[in-house]
A = this chain, B = another copy of it.
């Protein structure tokens, strides 16, 4: 394979697709945006949102375009997960999939647009069967999300602008799929100095009422500490 020759002509070309594992968080529950395929192959089954990489765009750009079409949002957190390349992973045509994961503020996205595309938010705890190798993509994406959330405070990408520490903890419990100690989580999170307490309180989720917090602008990422041990 080292001597490749002057031109690439003798090699094959393949379709290059994008598949997006789209995470959202609502009702104390981590959710995935899936859609009901309206076309062959695998028509009628559930799959990740996807599309193909156009001639003039990078895969990152393609992923952003696809997400914008679905959610109406521009500023989405996006990270490459992995390429899935088994020769027989799709139908007869060979398709390489570049998988991304995205974090969506469900409170901001265009719900009507999502509906009209036959898409649906599924709880991560009870996913339907997925086509092809999409389940594997979800697993890898969750792994990546855990690594990210373990090293920096996610939340600005998934929660509303202001939130209580209960909501933040529930988000982390959903991501890591285990319970976290109230006091220790609180101490850890506040020690990062990336949250600002607001004067307003939330009284709907507890009798006593809890202060709202928000992320301090620009203060993020300076931490890079271990929030949750993987």
Residues of A within 8 A of B (CB): 1-6, 8, 11-16, 35, 38-40, 49-60, 65-66, 69-70, 80, 82-83, 85-87, 93-96, 98, 117, 224, 230
Contact = CB atoms under 8 A, between A and B. Distances in A.
A56 B14 CA distance: 12
A96 B96 contact: yes
B11 A13 contact: no
Nearest to A147: B147
B12 A14 contact: no
A98 B96 CA distance: 10
Task: Select the residue from A35, A69, A87 with max chain B CB neighbours within 10 A.
Answer: A87
B83 A98 contact: yes
Contact of A83 (B14, B59, B86): B59
Task: Select the residue from A11, A51, A60 with max chain B CB neighbours within 10 A.
Answer: A11
Given A2-B51, A16-B96, A60-B85, 14 more contacts: A1-B50, A1-B51, A1-B69, A2-B70, A3-B38, A12-B15, A12-B54, A13-B16, A14-B14, A53-B85, A55-B87, A56-B87, A59-B83, A85-B98
13 contacts: A2-B70, A5-B39, A6-B39, A11-B54, A12-B52, A13-B14, A14-B14, A14-B16, A16-B16, A53-B96, A59-B85, A80-B83, A83-B98
A191 to B, nearest CB: 17
Contacts of A69: 1-2
B83 A11 contact: no
A40 B5 CA distance: 8
Contacts of A52: 1, 4, 8, 11-12
A58 B40 contact: no
Contacts of A56: 87
A7 to B, nearest CB: 8
A122 to B, nearest CB: 17
Contacts of A35: 2
Contact of A6 (B5, B13, B40, B54): B40
A220 B13 CA distance: 40
Nearest to A37: B4
